[in-house]
């Protein structure tokens, strides 16, 4: 495990010594039956699971087809994000006077609805995507029993086959649509650089998970941070301009991805410890974000801190998160809309925060709130 900010950042930045090759394989030894099912998944490595030169080529393609700056994300995805937030907020407002779970009724829904919109996934398939995607995270980062491993591995294989079918369908339709899959199929660079159908399916396979599980976590963490201290929520209600800084501090204080994997390609010495070649290393992003050598008073949640942008919640270097701008937009629009529409929102009194059992992803089990909109 690598925990200090400078060391985690160096490891993230040095893809030659710290490879991404095994990043998407489970952190424990799978039972043989589950392993043989997972081995049937012939998804070619693209960005998250690849090193140079494959990574360089596929990342270039992803950057060209998936907006990743705040301005382009706002321009191309802003309308979709705001429409989906409005729908979910209206549903909450309609339930005023009751207790609702902000995880299942809001945070877990929004990023999923947005990413399926962007990829052009049929709405009737959304429940399956959610099930497969939750299963993938539990399979890789949880510690399921062998029987459960087999069930989750079968789900993962079904998910991969589904992504392949999604892409073949777009090819049959001519691939002229405005969705991400069609754009990736039309991608051309230089004389002969294109993406294969399986590479596009591999992008979809990754984005359908990366694009929602993490952002659900960010939205839930932001809401929990805001609601667990009533003065913070009141301040955001009075001053919505403070929302972006609040979301950024949430990313530092307790990121949705607490730890991420690398594989050493050679012996690496950090301080007095030598990590042998071929070791799987857990880079603790959450610990790095609380390193007092980098952040003043790291355990204090301070949305006004000047050093917040040094956080590693979205990684660093060659694999820096492609979806950072989209995740920020979704969380910011969520908080701004909720503080405006339900300023009297408060955590249910008996609520005790708990997280799903997972080494990599820090996700709330639930966030019950009382929806009160009267008298504001
Ligand atoms: C990479 C975190 C949202 C797509 C990463 C990495 C981290 C991360 C830590 C670096 C992995 C590495 O170094 O190997 C997060 C968090 C998010 C979020 C905390 C939300 C709060 C998103 C969204 C998308 C996305 C919304 C897409 C729609 C990706 C992709 C990569 C990536 C494709 C791989 C980039 C590469 O390997 O070159 N993310 N992510 N992420 N993220 Fe995100």
Rounded Cα gap, residues 61 and 47, in angstroms:
10
The whole-chain average pLDDT of the chain stands at 94
Give a yes or no: residue 53 inside a domain: no
Asked if residue 376 has pLDDT above 70, the reply is no
Asked if residue 373 has pLDDT above 80, the reply is no
Say if ligand 1 is within 6 A of residue 59 CB.
yes
Say if ligand 1 is within 6 A of residue 49 CB.
no
Choice from 118, 323, 325, 328 to test ligand 1 binding pocket (greatest atom count within 8 A of CB): 323
- Separation of 314 CA from ligand 1 center, angstroms? 6
Range of the domain at 144: 5-43+59-370
Give a yes or no: residue 182 inside a domain: yes
Structural domain count, the chain: 1
pLDDT at position 20 is 96
pLDDT at position 32 is 96
Say if ligand 1 is within 6 A of residue 210 CB.
yes
272-296 average pLDDT score? 97
Q: For the chain, how long is the longest CA-to-CA vector?
A: 64
Give a yes or no: residue 208 inside a domain: yes
Cis (ω within 30 of 0) for the bond into 53?
A: yes
pLDDT digits 0-9 by tens, 53-68: 999 999 999 999 999 9
- Atom index in ligand 1 nearest the CA of residue 55 equals 38
Asked if residue 375 has pLDDT above 50, the reply is no
pLDDT digits 0-9 by tens, 120-169: 999 999 999 999 999 998 998 888 999 999 999 999 999 999 999 999 99
Give a yes or no: residue 49 inside a domain: no
Rounded Cα gap, residues 237 and 373, in angstroms:
13
Going by CA atoms, what residue is nearest to atom 13 of ligand 1? 319
pLDDT digits 0-9 by tens, 299-342: 999 999 999 999 999 999 999 999 999 999 999 999 999 999 99
Give a yes or no: residue 314 inside a domain: yes
Cis (ω within 30 of 0) for the bond into 111?
A: no
- Separation of 86 CA from ligand 1 center, angstroms? 25
Give a yes or no: residue 54 inside a domain: no
Residue 151 belongs to domain with CATH number:
1.10.630.10
Interhelix angle 324-341/70-93, rounded to 10 degrees, is 30
Only one residue has tokens 């459960």, namely 148
Give a yes or no: residue 48 inside a domain: no
pLDDT at position 152 is 96
Q: In what order do the strands lie in the sheet containing 280-284?
A: 18-19, 259-264, 280-284
Angle at CA of residue 40, ends 146 and 44, nearest 5°: 120
368-374 average pLDDT score? 80
Neighbouring-strand partners of residue 2: 283
Give a yes or no: residue 51 inside a domain: no
Q: What is the ipTM of this complex?
A: 0.98
Say if ligand 1 is within 6 A of residue 313 CB.
yes
Say if ligand 1 is within 6 A of residue 47 CB.
yes
pLDDT digits 0-9 by tens, 99-115: 999 999 999 999 999 99
pLDDT digits 0-9 by tens, 13-41: 999 999 999 888 888 889 999 999 999 99
């Amino acid at each position: 495990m690598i925990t200090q900010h400078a060391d985690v950042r160096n490891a993230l930045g040095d893809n030659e010594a710290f490879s991404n090759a095994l990043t998407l394989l489970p952190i424990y030894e799978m039972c043989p039956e589950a392993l043989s099912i997972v081995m049937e998944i012939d998804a070619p490595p693209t960005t998250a699971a690849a090193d140079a030169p494959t990574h360089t080529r596929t990342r270039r393609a992803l950057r060209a087809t998936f907006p990743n700056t705040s301005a382009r994300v706002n321009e191309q995805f802003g309308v979709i994000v705001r429409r989906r937030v409005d729908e979910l907020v209206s549903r909450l407002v309609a339930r005023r006077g009751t207790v609702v779970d902000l995880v299942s009724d809001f945070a877990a829904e929004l990023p999923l609805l947005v990413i399926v919109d962007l990829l052009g996934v049929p709405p009737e398939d959304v429940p399956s995507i959610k099930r497969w995607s939750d299963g993938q995270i539990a399979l890789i980062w949880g510690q399921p029993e062998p029987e459960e491993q087999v069930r989750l591995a079968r789900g993962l294989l079904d998910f991969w086959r589904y992504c392949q079918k999604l892409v073949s369908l777009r090819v049959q339709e001519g691939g002229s649509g405005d969705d991400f899959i069609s754009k990736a199929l039309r991608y051309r660079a230089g004389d002969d650089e294109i993406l294969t159908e399986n590479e596009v399916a591999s992008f979809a396979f990754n984005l359908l998970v990366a694009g929602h599980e993490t952002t659900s976590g960010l939205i839930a963490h932001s809401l929990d941070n805001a609601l667990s201290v009533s003065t913070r929520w009141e301040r955001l209600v009075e001053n919505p301009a403070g929302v972006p800084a609040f979301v950024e501090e949430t990313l530092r204080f307790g990121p949705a991805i607490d730890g991420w994997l690398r594989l050493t390609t050679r012996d690496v010495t950090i301080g007095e410890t030598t990590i042998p070649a071929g070791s799987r290393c857990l880079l603790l992003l959450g610990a790095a974000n609380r390193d007092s050598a980098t952040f003043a008073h790291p355990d204090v949640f301070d949305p006004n801190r000047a050093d917040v942008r040094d956080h590693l919640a979205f990684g660093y270097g060659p694999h820096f998160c492609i979806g950072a701008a989209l995740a920020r937009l979704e969380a910011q629009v969520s908080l701004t809309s909720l503080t405006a529409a339900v300023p009297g929102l408060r955590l249910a009194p008996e609520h005790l925060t708990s997280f799903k059992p997972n080494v990599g992803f820090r996700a709330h089990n639930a966030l019950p709130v009382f929806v009160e909109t009267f008298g504001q």
